[in-house]
Structure formats: C-alpha cells, structure tokens
Chains A and B, each alone.
Chain A
Amino acid sequence: MQFMLLFSRQGKLRLQKWYVPQADKEKKKITRELVQTVLARKPKMCSFLEWRDLKVVYKRYASLYFCCAIEDQDNELITLEIIHRYVELLDKYFGSVCELDIIFNFEKAYFILDEFLLGGEAQETSKKNVLKAIEQADLLQENLDFQIRLFPAPS
C-alpha cells in the first residue's frame, strides 16, 4: 500500500497515512485530486479506479470515505477486506464508531492503524490481538511511572 486517506463527504481530511516518502506539497496535491475524483464517483460504480499509475480502492462507510492506493500487482479485493478490518477494529475500540469519534480522537485512530498495518502491510491478522495490544498500550499511557514490566505478550 502506498497511502491511505480517510475523508468526509465534504472532502475534509480525517486521517492520512503515507507509506512512501512524498514532499508536503505533493501530498496536498495528491490528496486534493484524489478526493475530488472519488467524491465524483456515482454510487453504482465499482470500488476500484485507476489513478495516475496506481490502483485506488475506496469504500464509503456512512459519512466517511476510506481510500487506499495500491500498486499494480496488489490484490484489490483483499484491500477491501483490509479496509473493512480496520473499520471493525475502530468499531470495537470506540463502540459503534462514527465520524465524530475519529475527528475528536484522531491520534487513537492512528495508533490503531499502526497496530494493524506496518509499512503498508497487515502485521496482525487477529482482531483480538490488535485490540489487546492497543488496550495495554493505553493502560501504559495512563500510568505515570512507566518502569513497570508488562503482562506477557499476546501470542
């Protein structure tokens, strides 16, 4: 995966994760163009489109668009599953997640994404394990003195 963008139906960016280095200006340009392209798609069209030399996979969940850019040899259908898995993780973490949760807790959305994907690839395929890791990291954050040794790792 080259990057993932989350944006609202008005085109406001809610999360951006880049797995390839890009200049800030370039990121802005890509974001702007891609957001416009995706928002212009009609509901009956399929979830994949070709954009520049990449394949873009997007899916809308209520008021949020989840949009991933993958390379030519990547599997579009499994990318849809990855997006869905991320939404499920957010849903379990926030309890019936909605766009407001992601607006007000954007840093947590990033933390969860970083426990699920690393370098653009899925690092942990067990929902339970990802959520457990986040839970424990959150606990760690709450403890001021963090010299504590932790519970055994989720296997």
Chain B
Amino acid sequence: MPAPIRLRELIRTIRTARTQAEEREMIQKECAAIRSSFREEDNTYRCRNVAKLLYMHMLGYPAHFGQLECLKLIASQKFTDKRIGYLGAMLLLDERQDVHLLMTNCIKNDLNHSTQYVQGLALCTLGCMGSSEMCRDLAGEVEKLLKTSNSYLRKKAALCAVHVIRKVPELMEMFLPATKNLLSEKNHGKEAELCGLLYPALVPQLVRILKNLIMSGYSPEHDVSGISDPFLQVRILRLLRILGRSDDDSSEAMNDILAQVATNTETSKNVGNAILYETVLTIMDIKSESGLRVLAINILGRFLLNNDKNIRYVALTSLLKTVQTDHNAVQRHRSTIVDCLKDLDVSIKRRAMELSFALVNGNNIRGMMKELLYFLDSCDPEFKADCASGVFLAAEKYAPSKRWHIDTIMRVLTTAGSYVRDDSVPNLIQLITNSVEMHAYTVQRLYKALLDDISQQPLVQVSSWCIGEYGDLLVSGQCEEEEPIQVTEDEVLDVLEGLLLSNLSTPVTRGYSLTAIMKLSTREILNRIKKVVSVYGSSIDVELQQRAVEYNALFKKYDHMRPALLERMPIMEKTASNGPTEIVQTNGETEPSVPDTKHPPLVTQPANQVRACDVWTYHCWGYICVNELHSGLLVIPPMTAYNKNGLKIEFTFERANPNPNIAVITIHATNTTEADMTEFVFQAAVPKTFQLQLLSPSSNIVPALNQGSITQIIRVLNPQKQQLRMRVKLTYTHKGLPVQDLAEVNNFPPQSWQ
C-alpha cells in the first residue's frame, strides 16, 4: 500500500475543491484510506494520519474513529507522536467521551517523564480538559511538580493545579503548603495564580510584588508598550479583589498600592487602561475608603472621554454597576454620559441610555429629559420601547409641573407612539385623569395630534379616551394654557368615526373609539351617534358588536340612565404599581442585538483596502480573494512625519523579510497648497547606530491640491533595536521661491523598531 499522503498535501488538495460536494468526496476518500491504515496498526504513519484527521475535523467532518489512535500516539515513545496525540486528545477527547479516562495512565507516566517538554504536554492537557476523576487521580503528581526547581514546569503545574482545584475543590488543602513557598519567588512567576484561593495573610506579599513590578526597571521580555508585565499586574489586582472582598483589614492593606497604581499607570495605550480598569474593578469590590472610590469613578469618567470606543464601553458598563452605590460621584460625569447617547456603537448607546435614566433626579430632570427625548427621536427602533418607558417613569417621579408632564407624554406619543408598551396606555389615562386642571389643554393637544396622524395606536387610544371624557371642554374651547381651537361636535364625531373606519386602527382602538363616541352622546349630536352605534351592532368584530348592541340598548331602554353612566370618570387611585417595566438593570445586562440571520453575512471591506476582487458571499466557493490570505496579520500603523506649510509627509511601513532588523519605510509627500512644489528633494539622517539607504523618488514634483504624491523608499538597518529617530531635510521651490526646512521625526510606532 502506498504511503499515506502528507498533511500539507492533503490541505492543498482539499483547498482546490470548487464545490462542497467535491470537498466531501475528497474527504470521504481520504477518511477511507486513513481508516484502513488504522486497521493495519501502522505505527509509522499513524501520526500523519491523525494530523490529517484533525484538519478534516476542523472543517466540520466526523473524526471519532480517530479517538483511540490518539491514545496510541500518546503512549508512543516518539515526541512527534506525543505532540499530535495530545493535540488530538484535546480536540477529540473531552470528558464526555468514554475513552477519556484511558488517558489517565499515559498522562501519569508523562508527568514523570525525563524530558520537560513531555511533562509540559501532559500538564497542558490535564489543565485544559482533565475530568474530575482524572484530576483526583493525578493531583499528587501535579503537586509534586509544583515543588520542582524547574520554573518552566512550575508555571505549568501552577495553572494545572488551578484547574484541578476548580474541578475538585476538596483537593485545595493538598496544594496549600506548596503554594505558600511560591510567592517568595523574585522573578515574574505565574505562581501567584494559585493564591486566589488562599489566605488574606498573603496580601502584604502580593502588595510587595505589585509594587516591585511598578517600580522596577525596564524588562524587555515582559514589557508591553512600556508597562512591566501587565498580565501579571492584572492577575495580582484580581487576586487582591478576591482577597479583600469581605475583609476589612486586607482592604486597608491594599489602599495605598491601589491608589499608586491608579495614579501612576500610563494611559496612552490599551495596556495601561486594562490595568486601570482592573484596578477600578478591585476598588469597587473591596471595602475601600470613599476617597479611593471617588478616584475610581473619576478614572471611569476619564475613560468616557477616551477616543477608543472599547474603553468607553467598559467605562459605561462599570458605571452602571456602581451608580446605585456611588450615585453622587457618578452624577459628576453626567454630561459626558449624556454625550455618549450620540455614539455610533449600539452597545454604547444602550448603556448610556440606561445610565442616563439612573441619573435622572429632581434637579436635572428638565435638562436630562431634553436630551433623552432628542435621543428618542433619533435612535434605532430597538431602543424606542425601553426609552419611552424610561421617560414615562422618570417623568412620573420628577415632573416639575403638570403641564411639563403632559407635554412630555405628548412628545413621546407623537414621536415614538407605535413603540410605546401596551400597558402604558392605562397608566397614561390614569395620569391624565388625575391632572384635573390640565384636562382642557390635554384634550386639545391630543385632538390636534389625531388630526395629523392616526397610525400610532397608543396615541390614538389615549386620544380617543380623552375626547370621550373631555369632549365638552374641547368643543367649548376652554383651554387656558394655549390658544383654544374652534371645533364643532360634528367635526369631533367625524374624527372618531374616521378611526372606526380606518384600516390602520386595531380592534382595541376601535373599541376605544366606539366608547368615546357613546360618551359624547351626553350632548346634542344624538342622532348621528345613534346611527353610528346601530351600524356597529352588526360588526364582524365580536367586541365591537357587543359594545354597540349594549350601547344601543342604553339608548332604547335605559335612556334615563345614560347621562349618569356616561358621566366623566372620577380621579383614580393607583392600586398596584404596575407601571412600565423597570428598564434600569443595574447589573448592566442587556439583550444582545441579534443580527438578521436570514441573509448570509455579506462582508464589506474596509475603505483602505482596495483590491481587485471585493465583495463575496458566504456560499461563493471559489471566489476567495487569494491576495488577502497572504496579507500579514500584524500591520504597522502609518504615521505623519511632517506637516507644515501645506506639505505633508506620511510614512508607511513594511516588514522586511527575512531580516527583521531592517525597517522599510515608504514616504508619501502631498501638497495642499495651490501651487506645485517643484525640485523637491527629501533627505534623511539617522543616529550613529543606524544605517540608512535612500532609494530614488518617484518624481521631484509634488502636485498642488493633493492631486498626486511623491513616493520614495527608505531602508533603515537597526541591528541594536534602538528607538528609531530621524532628522529630515526638505528642499523645494514653491511659487518661484526656494524653501528649505529641517525637522526631527520622533513619533515612530514601536513596532517599527522593536
């Protein structure tokens, strides 16, 4: 039998498939070959076959027949086999599989292997997916490895132990002695990991480690953008949070270091902000003093002003969690929060809205409501219902005057009327009834709104009801608050009848209308009303028919009771407070926005990547843009090196393979003035430790008004990996006069020289 094909060969072949069917066929053929190879117990090629199987598994095809083969690979003596075997185990053999436990013995042997990389593989596998039984069996071995002098293994053992303890909490005791010694390590150990489960007595040690980290000198291998080992700093802060949570003494011991981290951490990059964020979370969770809490909230306030939307998002989420407990401190940042209502990102808008509602109080109600109503006008439909409910709630609590209250309600009903929740209608009706002096004003405004638009059902329902109740005020023109309108009873009846007839009205709305018409019968348009009512006595809608028949009976047999029955409603008591549902959820949880899943995701490319083949669909098999697969993942951001007198020079970067010490910079010179810049010469000089090579420019004229650019390539050799600096000299002729300028360029992104 010929040797099974190699992994890369298989990948290449499968990728040439032009349809799903073709791919399936190739896979089936290869699976058959692999199966027979497994049956032959072929040791030589088992590794290769399992690797191929793992690839096919990633594509979505079944691979369960390879599970036992993974075990055989793990048991093999060859390191290559073990590597693939353990990978296969982690992908195919989670604890739900029957054969999972068979790994235990192999792992046990490998934990005691003479080669640390084999031990590492075993620890990694156990720490990723060991079941509780396996952890119980192997805890002893892990504990032994915690005490080894080999720091490579110690770190792995520590994290593996965390997993073991998570799976089998009773085993925690076993690891305690070993862990206490770990913390006295001087170097950047992840051993601190384990301590999250241990004594508060560790707090001083943790504080000391953190302090050393912040104060210590530059350690290039652990550094990220100038900050010492941020991953470890965040871990320690997290631990302090857990330890200080319910312990006063620990919390006090941490105060100083938390304040120090909060004030000394550099915030220009995401890394620094990540540490600050963790610090804030810790301060909020432990029993910190109020000064520290205010410091934390101010950090969050600063985050809100950050250009990075991720940081604004994180700030809003955290503020939402603390707004109840630290209300006054959060209030100080109210205007920034309100500005976030205008953000482009949906999640940020939602959080800003929730937070805004939480911050509304008697003092700021007018200003806040203006902003929130503006938001209601312009926000996406998914927000409107919650926002409307929130507005009603806030208005009810803090309305400065009845007139303002009614106006606010009107505004919501007219702008977002169709999104208002159904249960708001009765609440609003009750509100209006109880504002006795505003009845005339209210009914007039509602009537006018109806004349404009009858499509928003909640608005129509409330209006109909009001007209029914206060129709007399409307007709007699008694409004004091604004210019009373002239309207006759017939006109009013026209409007109400129109609602009954309109296709836009729901059955519920029609019910409201009919009842309203009936209530108007206390006045002189009786005949017309009687006609309308009798027509609906044979309506298809059962509810409507019933009402009409009953009202008809009222006219015929109980006319003497009619006025009393249809009299104006008295002021209603609020029984149970079943107002609009509380939308401020202080734990900040909201529903994720569900995208329209009916269409395959059509991915559009960002504007700065112009390629020949652009948009493609999910099912389009062969049109994958090959160019894009080759584009490097890590792109160094471009920078502006010089920008003066209309001349702008931008640097873009490329990685020079294979020599990483060479930075290849392309300069782009553009000119915003009205005259061309001719005889343009760009010269550059670098410090002694660097070497520079300047290739020929594309031309020596920079066209006016950005109509073109000069490009030129610079190669900089930086063998000592020092910070890149450059002095540039520019000479050109502009409007007949020679121009010369010297400038220093210092703002190179770190990726270009690190």
Contacts and interface: CB of A to CB of B under 8 A. Distances in A.
Contacts of A37: 592, 594-595
B58 interface: yes
Contact of B630 (A80, A100, A106): A100
A89 B283 CA distance: 33
B123 A118 contact: yes
A18 to B, nearest CB: 7
Interface in B659-685: 660
Interface of B: 7-8, 11-12, 15, 51, 54-55, 58-60, 77-80, 83-84, 87, 90-91, 94-96, 114-117, 120, 123-124, 127-129, 131, 150-153, 155-156, 159-160, 162-163, 187-188, 190, 193, 221-222, 224, 229-232, 234-235, 238, 270-271, 273-275, 277-278, 281, 309-314, 344-348, 589-590, 592, 594-597, 601, 603, 606, 616, 618, 624-625, 628-635, 655, 657-658, 660
B271 A124 contact: no
18 contacts: A13-B59, A15-B58, A21-B131, A51-B592, A61-B634, A77-B270, A85-B224, A87-B633, A97-B632, A98-B633, A106-B55, A106-B58, A107-B84, A115-B120, A119-B163, A121-B235, A133-B152, A141-B83
A119 B128 contact: yes
Nearest to B166: A119
Given A48-B313, A99-B633, A146-B79, A78 B278 contact: yes
Chain A residues touching B, majority SS: mixed
B604 to A, nearest CB: 9
Contacts of A98: 629-633
Interface in A1-38: 9-11, 13-19, 21-23, 28, 36-37
A121 B162 contact: yes
A116 B629 CA distance: 24
Nearest to B308: A46
Contacts of A36: 595, 597, 601
Contacts of B156: 118, 123
Contact of B51 (A61, A99, A107): A107
B7 to A, nearest CB: 8
Given A16-B58, A39-B601, A80-B310, A10 B221 contact: no
Interface in A29-70: 36-37, 39-40, 43-52, 61-64
Nearest to B627: A63
Given A11-B601, A19-B128, A155-B151, A146 B278 contact: no
Nearest to B344: A44
Interface of B is mostly: helix
A142 to B, nearest CB: 9
Contact of A63 (B94, B596, B629): B629
Interface in A100-123: 100, 103-104, 106-107, 110-111, 114-115, 118-119, 121-123
A144 B310 CA distance: 49
The 10 closest A-B pairs by CB, nearest first: A77-B274, A40-B595, A61-B633, A126-B221, A39-B601, A153-B152, A78-B274, A118-B159, A119-B127, A128-B221
A149 B54 CA distance: 30
Given A91-B634, A107-B87, A155-B187, A45 B345 contact: yes
B96 A75 contact: no
A122 B629 CA distance: 28
Contacts of B347: 45-46, 48-50
A139 B274 CA distance: 36
Given A48-B314, A122-B231, A133-B152, A111 B632 contact: no
Contacts of A23: 96
B242 to A, nearest CB: 9
Contacts of B79: 137, 140-141, 143, 146
Contacts of A154: 152
A123 B315 CA distance: 28
B58 A13 contact: yes
Size band of the interface chain A makes with B: 35 or more
Interface of A: 9-11, 13-19, 21-23, 28, 36-37, 39-40, 43-52, 61-64, 73, 75-78, 80-82, 85, 87-88, 90-91, 95-100, 103-104, 106-107, 110-111, 114-115, 118-119, 121-129, 133, 136-137, 140-141, 143-144, 146-150, 153-155
A28 B63 CA distance: 14
A97 B278 contact: no
Contacts of A148: 115
Given A10-B624, A125-B232, A46 B129 contact: no
B129 A21 contact: yes
Given A61-B633, A121-B162, A137 B231 contact: no
A123 to B, nearest CB: 5
A110 B87 contact: yes
Given A21-B95, A64-B633, A121-B162, A77 B311 contact: yes
B231 A125 contact: yes
A119 B159 contact: yes
Nearest to B164: A119
Given A23-B96, A104-B12, A150-B117, 5 more contacts: A9-B628, A76-B310, A103-B629, A133-B117, A148-B115
A77 B314 contact: yes
A51 B595 CA distance: 12
A12 to B, nearest CB: 8
Contact of A46 (B96, B277, B313): B313
Contact of B78 (A19, A103, A125, A146): A146
Contacts of A18: 94, 129
A90 B124 contact: no
A10 B616 contact: yes
B152 A46 contact: no
A64 B603 CA distance: 13
A125 B188 contact: yes
A77 B315 CA distance: 11
A15 B11 CA distance: 14
A19 B188 CA distance: 24
B52 to A, nearest CB: 11
A85 B84 CA distance: 24
Given A80-B310, A91-B634, A118-B159, A43 B128 contact: no
A96 B634 contact: yes
Listed residue (A52, A77, A80, A146) with the most chain B CB atoms within 10 angstroms of its CB: A77
Contacts of B84: 107
Contacts of B595: 36-37, 40
A81 B77 contact: no
B238 to A, nearest CB: 8
B664 to A, nearest CB: 12
Contact of B221 (A63, A91, A127): A127
A95 B58 contact: no
A23 B96 CA distance: 7
A118 B590 CA distance: 31
A107 B54 contact: yes
Given A95-B658, A96-B657, A126-B221, A75 B592 contact: no
A147 B232 CA distance: 35
Contact of B270 (A80, A96, A124, A144): A80
A56 to B, nearest CB: 9
A75 B221 contact: no
A16 B60 CA distance: 11
Given A98-B633, A119-B163, A28 B270 contact: no
B11 A104 contact: yes
A77 B629 contact: no
A45 B597 CA distance: 18
A87 B271 CA distance: 15
B597 to A, nearest CB: 6
Contact of B657 (A50, A95, A133, A153): A95
